[in-house]
Structure 1
């Protein structure tokens, strides 16, 4: 019987915490902080069910899913520092609880543990070096996407288009959210991933990030981040760029003046004005429709390959999680 998502989440969290034990309790507390907070673990679930659906064993699938969750956690620590975020998963971000250098170092430590776990699976014969190469691709693409995102904010650039956003998100979030889990599942079963996994998976991953941007504005208790935090951080989201394209010169000028201010200098009243304008302008509704369109296009590209997978029960779970990328259920 294929384990349910809650059962897999529990096993993933237990595996993460076990892998991050340390003889120094203060150090262990830092390493385990984000993993202890839980979360939906969508990417870990995708790797797990993708592996099983392709014919891999449960031990290998769970260990590899744990490795991708390690990736997710160290990237979030670094991302929160770089964005000066206030919250993560409903609690203060790690660098708000501890001195920033300690939080940064904890992220580095989780990064190292990710590679250690991948080497462990290689040594046990659970996968081959292609899995490590895929993780290298995940790290390098995510880093470039983050570079684009940060450089736009640091330079105060607002001459961007929705196409610029899509390019950035394709690297920063889309690849490791959907493409890598599908490819890793095939690699875990000793297969060569079809090109459709990247072509379709990128669309699903972009749709996921657009929905994430929507949730930041609309609010969701399960979202676990500060409401309108993207505006305080000056994120160049698809929603914001769409609004700026259609705004009057007066509104655009007011919004750009606000967005160029450092987070700590942004007046709460002005942030609220921009937040209300984004919701009222139709930009959020348009972004939701774009997410649904991209997800459908991506899934249509994947469907023939998913239908051919040898484990139908795991395939059903995998398809449910792929749907959760835009519906946010699992």
Structure 2
């Protein structure tokens, strides 16, 4: 798609924009969080995840999508902060549900404070996200404010549906899962709140409810799916320092990621028996040696290569949908940033 120099410049440009947005939003999140007692068991831990450097993708999408559809940035800032606060609440609860040990390069709240305190902390951050959104929507007339709240509620429910499905697959030891099932899962679990909602709510505010949101769903889904698959691959082939989470954590948890879905469908003989036995175990029952064995099987059966090719195909479709989604958008730096996101994910693959 681009040569090495162009890819390097593109990655640097996108990451610079994301860092600047993340820094501003991180400061705003901390300003929004209350002080008081019990600081040790609630208000202190609530500041933990929002203090950790994150990608800033969700607020950046909201701010840029809103701007290219005509919004005043001041109308978007509170919404972007609310989205990122809810994201942090989801992360806290995800780490409890998954038994994760690392988040953004540091121990999870569940690991340092215990499960009960982590659940309370996640609940608290989610409440503050709603408070921030309520203040932000006071700038709008009643109809637009209602539309923004409907989008927020829909996004939260879609995400919970995805989380419930993933947990259900693990609880019921579901093995008959294909790539389409995986895509449906991440459409709900990841794409809706990571890409689709920030794009839709930004366009909604910018156009005062007039924008056609359907093309944004198509673009947001394909871009978000590729972004999630890349994250799944990094969990298998990355290093903990740059990845920021527990390497091979998805395998320890038995998550039905696309590489594992491919392996489940293609492993045969003794390998299939080994894999089925592995998946029926709990996380605590899976040893490091067993995890490494399953990881090697992914190489043997081409699951990693399949996943890369699958995601690259999705990215090609995302490029096509981008032009439809932003056909009437205003040109400028924000549109340039949004257009660069697909090749950015592609470049980061290399």
TM-score by length of 2: 0.88
The structure 2 residue matched to 1:270, chosen from 279, 290, 307, is: 290
Aligned to 1:5: 18
Preserved CA contact (<8 Å) 2:318 2:342: no
Structure 1 window deviating more from structure 2 (314-323 vs 208-217): it is 314-323
Structure 1 window deviating more from structure 2 (242-251 vs 147-156): it is 242-251
Gaps of 5+ in 2: 1-15
| Equivalent-residue separation in structure 1 for 2:31 and 2:344 (angstroms) | 28
Instruction: Give yes or no for the alignment of 1:224 onto 2:244.
Output: yes
Q: How does 1:1-330 map to 2 (within 5 A)?
A: 4-24=17-37, 25-26=39-40, 27-125=42-140, 128-189=145-206, 190=208, 191-220=210-239, 221-325=241-345, 327=347
| Equivalent-residue separation in structure 1 for 2:35 and 2:265 (angstroms) | 51
| Equivalent-residue separation in structure 2 for 1:297 and 1:28 (angstroms) | 44
Per the TM alignment, residue 172 of structure 1 is displaced from its structure 2 partner at its CA by 0.8
Per the TM alignment, residue 319 of structure 1 is displaced from its structure 2 partner at its CA by 2.2
Per the TM alignment, residue 316 of structure 1 is displaced from its structure 2 partner at its CA by 0.9
Write the deviation string for residues 119-178 of structure 1: whole angstroms up to 9, x where unpaired.
Answer: 101123386221111011111101111111000101112122222211111111112222
Gaps of 5+ in 1: none
Secondary structure class of the residue paired with 1:59: helix
TM-score by length of 1: 0.94
| Equivalent-residue separation in structure 1 for 2:300 and 2:30 (angstroms) | 43
Between Structure 1 and Structure 2, how many residues are aligned? 327
| Equivalent-residue separation in structure 1 for 2:53 and 2:253 (angstroms) | 24
| Equivalent-residue separation in structure 1 for 2:340 and 2:178 (angstroms) | 32
Write the deviation string for residues 268-327 of structure 1: whole angstroms up to 9, x where unpaired.
Answer: 111111112213421111111111111221231121332431142111122234544555
